[in-house]
């Protein structure tokens, strides 16, 4: 059986691959260049260290994870710009509403303490986006 991490890796390959000039490509969330021969998984919105043991699988999901080159990860993983680029990457592929609903479910359904969680329902993708950019 695949571990959660391997399953997520497979899901990222399927869900985040896009067509670039007629070719299927999985792109790095930092530099936008193709990932060839493997990639790192970066937890973009909520880090593993912020989640209690036993609930970490809740953040190993598409809504929270972006693929990166090893070098981009090592050099820029802790940068605030990384978080911003990851949000752009994820919203382009999943939509802000889906990401915000995952985020809020951590608090509402799973009792995790997450900053700026809201039970508010926003009306448009733009409003979801503004909320996502605030977290």
Output the residue with the shortest Cβ distance to Zn ion.
28
Nearest approach in angstroms of CB 66 to Zn ion is: 10
Q: Which is nearer to Zn ion, 30 or 131 (CB)?
A: 30
Nearest approach in angstroms of CB 63 to Zn ion is: 21
CB-based contacts of 85, cutoff 8 Å, min separation 6: 29, 30
Q: Which is nearer to Zn ion, 31 or 41 (CB)?
A: 31
* Residues at the site binding Zn ion, with contacts judged by CB under 5 A: 28, 30-31, 69, 72
Nearest approach in angstroms of CB 37 to Zn ion is: 13
User: What span, in angstroms and rounded, lies between the C-alpha atoms of 111 and 49?
Assistant: 16
For residue 129, what are its two tokens? 């986006």
Burial (CB count within 10 angstroms: exposed 0-12, middle 13-18, buried 19+), residue 98: middle
User: Minimal CA–CA distance to 37: which of 19, 13, 60?
Assistant: 13
Q: Which is nearer to Zn ion, 65 or 72 (CB)?
A: 72
């Amino acid at each position: 059986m695949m571990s959660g991490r391997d399953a997520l890796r497979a899901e990222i390959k399927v869900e985040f691959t896009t067509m670039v000039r007629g070719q299927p490509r999985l792109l790095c969330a930092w530099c936008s260049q193709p990932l060839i021969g493997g990639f790192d998984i970066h937890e973009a919105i909520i880090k593993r260290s912020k989640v209690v043991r036993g609930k970490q699988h809740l953040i190993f999901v598409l809504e929270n994870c972006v693929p990166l080159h090893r070098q981009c990860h090592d050099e820029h993983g802790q940068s605030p710009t990384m978080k911003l680029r990851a949000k752009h990457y994820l919203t382009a592929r999943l939509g802000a509403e889906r990401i915000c609903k995952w985020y809020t479910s951590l608090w509402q359904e799973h009792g995790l303490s997450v900053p700026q969680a809201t039970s508010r329902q926003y009306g448009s993708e733009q409003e979801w986006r503004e909320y996502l950019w605030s977290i």
